[in-house]
Amino acid sequence: MINNKKICVVLPAYNAEKTLENTLNEIPFDIVDYVVLVDDMSSDKTVEVAERLKIEHIVRHKKNMGYGGNQKSCYKKALELGADIVIMLHPDYQYTPKLITSMASLIAEGVFDCVLGSRILGVGALEGGMPKHKYFANRLLTFFQNVMLNYKLSEYHTGYRAFSGEILKTLPLDRNSDDFVFDNQMLSQIIYAKFPVGEISCPTLYFDDASSISFSRAAKYGLGVIATSCGFRLHKWSLLKSPIFAPLDRRMNWK
The answer to whether residue 114 sits within a structural domain is: yes
What tens digit of pLDDT does each residue of 149-179 get?
999 999 999 999 999 999 999 999 999 999 9
Q: What is the pLDDT of residue 213?
A: 74
Domain containing 119 equals 7-252
Q: What is the pLDDT of residue 210?
A: 57
In sequence order, which residues have a C-beta less than 8 Å from that of residue 203 and are 6 or more positions away? Answer: 96, 119, 124, 128
Alpha carbon distance 57, 221 (integer Å): 30
Yes or no: say if 197 and 158 are a contact pair by the CB < 8 Å rule. Answer: no
Closest CA to 80 of 4, 154, 10, 12: 10
Percentage of the chain beyond pLDDT 90 is 84
Number of domains in the chain: 1
What tens digit of pLDDT does each residue of 85-116 get?
999 999 999 999 999 999 999 999 999 999 99
Q: What is the pLDDT of residue 215?
A: 80
Burial 165-193 (b: 16+ CB within 10 A, else e): bebbebbebeebbebbbbbbbbbbbbbbb
| Amino acid of residue 44 | D
Phi, psi of 189 (to 5 degrees): -65, -40
Whether 1 shows a pLDDT value over 70: the answer reads yes
Whether 254 shows a pLDDT value over 70: the answer reads no
Q: What is the pLDDT of residue 160?
A: 97
Alpha carbon distance 237, 231 (integer Å): 10
For the domain that residue 90 is a member of, what is the CATH number? 3.90.550.10
Alpha carbon distance 190, 150 (integer Å): 13
The answer to whether residue 132 sits within a structural domain is: yes
Alpha carbon distance 5, 105 (integer Å): 10
Whether 53 shows a pLDDT value over 60: the answer reads yes
Q: What is the mean pLDDT of the chain?
A: 93
The answer to whether residue 202 sits within a structural domain is: yes
More confident call, 133 vs 248: 248
Alpha carbon distance 165, 213 (integer Å): 29
Whether 230 shows a pLDDT value over 90: the answer reads yes
Q: Label residue 207 by pLDDT band (50, 70, 90).
A: low
The answer to whether residue 116 sits within a structural domain is: yes
What tens digit of pLDDT does each residue of 182-200 get?
999 999 999 999 999 999 9
Q: Label residue 251 by pLDDT band (50, 70, 90).
A: confident
Q: Is 193 helix (H, G, I), strand (E, B) or coil?
A: coil
8, β-bridge pairs? 34, 86
Alpha carbon distance 225, 186 (integer Å): 11
The answer to whether residue 1 sits within a structural domain is: no
The answer to whether residue 57 sits within a structural domain is: yes
Whether 255 shows a pLDDT value over 70: the answer reads no
Q: Is 213 helix (H, G, I), strand (E, B) or coil?
A: coil
pTM value is: 0.93
The answer to whether residue 127 sits within a structural domain is: yes
Q: Taking the CA of residue 234 as centre, how many other CA atoms within 13 Å lie in the half-sphere pointing to its CB?
A: 12
The answer to whether residue 180 sits within a structural domain is: yes
